[in-house]
A = this chain, B = another copy of it.
């Protein structure tokens, strides 16, 4: 999708199966990994840098909740600048941490629409299901899931 559509509302009718979108990028810092994990997942290897360096990971890694939070934050911020008209999350499947996310990594979320259909139960609503991945600066997939959202339709088309 072309960049430079900042602020444009993106409705259900704008999605199509096979559509691929990239998010803005996100720099993961050591400070944020430690701060997040102290509150939400205080395992020693997420908050103690020396211990993490000596572990088989060889460095501090973001906890699962932090990685998912980064996904939630950037996957709604597309490079194109459009604003997705999301009404509700319908759930997430096959959430996998495929590689460690290290301090210093830069992540991008890439989504591929697999299903885009009208809601069977709710008028003027669409269901969009996408396969989403986060890639690091080496183009390695570090995270994946399938996400389904309820989307708003353009009023006049319904």
| Binary interface encoding of chain A residues 34-51 relative to chain B, with 1 for a CB under 8 A from any of its CBs, else 0 | 000001110100000000
Which of chain B's residues have a CB closer than 8 A to the CB of A93?
A: 93-95
Q: How far is the CB of A99 from chain B (nearest CB, A)?
A: 12
Determine if A123 is an interface residue (Cβ-Cβ < 8 Å). no
Compute how far the CA of A91 lies from the CA of B91 in the bound complex, rounded to whole angstroms. Answer: 15
Count of chain A residues with a beta carbon within 8 Å of a chain B beta carbon: 22
Does A20 interact with chain B (Cβ within 8 Å)?
no
Which residues does A use to contact B, with CB under 8 Å?
39-41, 43, 63-65, 68-70, 72-73, 76, 86, 89, 91-97
Add 4 more A-B contacts to A39-B69, A65-B68 (CB < 8 A): A40-B72, A41-B73, A91-B95, A91-B97
